[in-house]
Amino acid sequence: MTSLVEYCKRDALDAMEHFLRNFSHVPDDKLNWSPTPTSKSALRIAAHTAVAIGNFTKMMRDRRLPYGDEIPEFMAQTAAREVAITTREEAEELLRKNMAEVITAMDDLTDEEAEMVLDTGQGWQMPMSFLMKLPSKHTAWHIGQIDFLQTCWDDQEIYVG
């Protein structure tokens, strides 16, 4: 039987490769295109995905989530790091780097830590096991956004290889 850590690691890496495969099919002239002025572009979605993986790594390593008064600053820093990514190459490089780091962070969790429950400070808790699944889940959610954007410019191809 595969351990939770091994499952989460494999699933995260698979999601990253799927994301990058689809993102590679975004034409250069569409990287910053969005369907509305307030919608995220494919590049911003990729930047967000990469930065979020880094955030998950920090949470796993610290064994805690941003809490209370820390949240506005955490969100502002996240947004600033996303906006700083301006090329496809930067987004891909950061996603690969942060995914490698989150895999290491998962490896560093003891069995007891993998079972711990983190307080959100917002009236609910997050099991570490859920946080361990977020690199995959979060990346998959954003694969769907890239797929949607591709249909907006009439790319109906399903990229499987």
Count of structural domains, the chain: 1
Instruction: Report if residue 160 sits inside a domain.
Output: no
The pLDDT score that the predictor gives to residue 1 is 47
Token pair for 120:
């959100």
The CATH number linked to 127 is: 1.20.120.450
Q: Tokens 């494999």 map to which residue?
A: 10
pLDDT in tens, 81-125: 999 999 999 999 999 999 999 999 999 998 889 999 999 888 889
Instruction: Report if residue 34 sits inside a domain.
Output: no
Low-confidence ranges of the chain (pLDDT < 70): 1-2, 161
Query: Residues 93, 49: contact at Cβ < 8 Å?
Result: no
Instruction: Report if residue 21 sits inside a domain.
Output: yes
Q: Which domain holds residue 68?
A: 4-25+41-152
Query: Where are the alpha helices (H) located in the chain, listed in sequence order?
Result: 4-24, 42-62, 70-83, 88-108, 111-114, 128-152
Instruction: Report if residue 159 sits inside a domain.
Output: no
Quick one: DSSP state of residue 35? Answer: S
Instruction: Report if residue 35 sits inside a domain.
Output: no
Instruction: Report if residue 31 sits inside a domain.
Output: no
Nearest by Cα to 87 from 31, 22, 140, 155: 31
Beta carbons within 10 angstroms of residue 105's beta carbon: 19
Quick one: DSSP state of residue 29? Answer: G
**pTM > 0.85: yes or no:** yes
The pLDDT score that the predictor gives to residue 53 is 98
Instruction: Report if residue 158 sits inside a domain.
Output: no
Phi, psi of 42 (to 5 degrees): -60, -40
Instruction: Report if residue 11 sits inside a domain.
Output: yes
